[in-house]
Amino acid sequence: IVAHADDRLSAALRFIRANFQNRINVDDVLRHVAVGRRTLFNKFRAALGRTPLAEIQRLRLERACDLLKDTDLPLRQVATLAGYADRHRMLCTFRKRLGMTPERFRSRGG
């Protein structure tokens, strides 16, 4: 559920949540809410403490973690379903954000 006093911020968050797995980027969000880049970034920082891109990346990582915990899907498919461009991009994100590979994450049970 996305609720916020700022209608454009709410619209941006809804769009991101509905589309993060489709490999969207910040420009797609900007087109959807018809607001300037600086304005959108300021709204995100004030409300969430992160940028629109960081929110997209957070949701992708969260989805990948859920898929790794709950399925036996191959890593390539997990990456695609989570919105990553490829398996390597997901691997880099896991190493940077979690300090481990997706394989290690899965073997530890999340």
**Whole-prediction pTM value?**
0.91
Residue 109's pLDDT is: 85
Kindly state the tokens that stand for 44.
Answer: 């995100």
Whole-number pLDDT of residue 1: 46
Low-confidence ranges of the chain (pLDDT < 70): 1-4
**Per-residue pLDDT at 26:** 97
Reported as half-sphere exposure (CB side, CA atoms, 13 A), residue 75 has a value of 15
CA angle 58-95-81, nearest 5°? Answer: 50
Structure token pair of residue 99 = 């300090």
